[in-house]
A and B are shown apart, each in its own frame.
Chain A
Amino acid sequence: TQLLEQSPQFLSIQEGENLTVYCNSSSVFSSLQWYRQEPGEGPVLLVTVVTGGEVKKLKRLTFQFGDARKDSSLHITAAQPGDTGLYLCAGAYDYKLSFGAGTTVTVRA
């Protein structure tokens, strides 16, 4: 079983602040993906990281894949209320995805 641990479980910040979500595992993945899910909807793919040490930027979001391809982080700069949602990391292996439990992010206006 490939387990992904996300931290923190909940995060509540003021608009304009920065935040970081972590995703850790003892297993190696062929890729790691980040999704955002809003209530009552399916997760939406934000980014896929494949190479160890890879850093990807998507506007105010920065994603990093650990050198050993076991962990990842998501950093949001100057968070906005529209960033509110459940952030999920998922590791790919053998054509399967293993999901972390998720981090609920609330950005207060």
Chain B
Amino acid sequence: SQQGEEDPQALSIQEGENATMNCSYKTSINNLQWYRQNSGRGLVHLILIRSNEREKHSGRLRVTLDTSKKSSSLLITASRAADTASYFCATRYVSQGGKLIFGQGTELSVKP
């Protein structure tokens, strides 16, 4: 399977704390994207980072990309109960056209 690895699989924190999720992938990518999914719902696109970028910010989100280690991390600062969801990384591989391959996901629980 080309599916990437994510860790941790589950993360439980208190409101106000930071949450860090990691994603690893296997071959050269065009870009890496992070998505959020609330239970039983569709996907919400959070942020896209290209292969030539190292860090990107969007509000309380910070994404880093290390192509030498084939890994990325998503940091959510000052978490809120509303951030409770599953988070997935998805990679767009150079050799695979436009399709996205999703990681296994991290289930984040933010307790008020």
Chains A and B form a bound pair: no
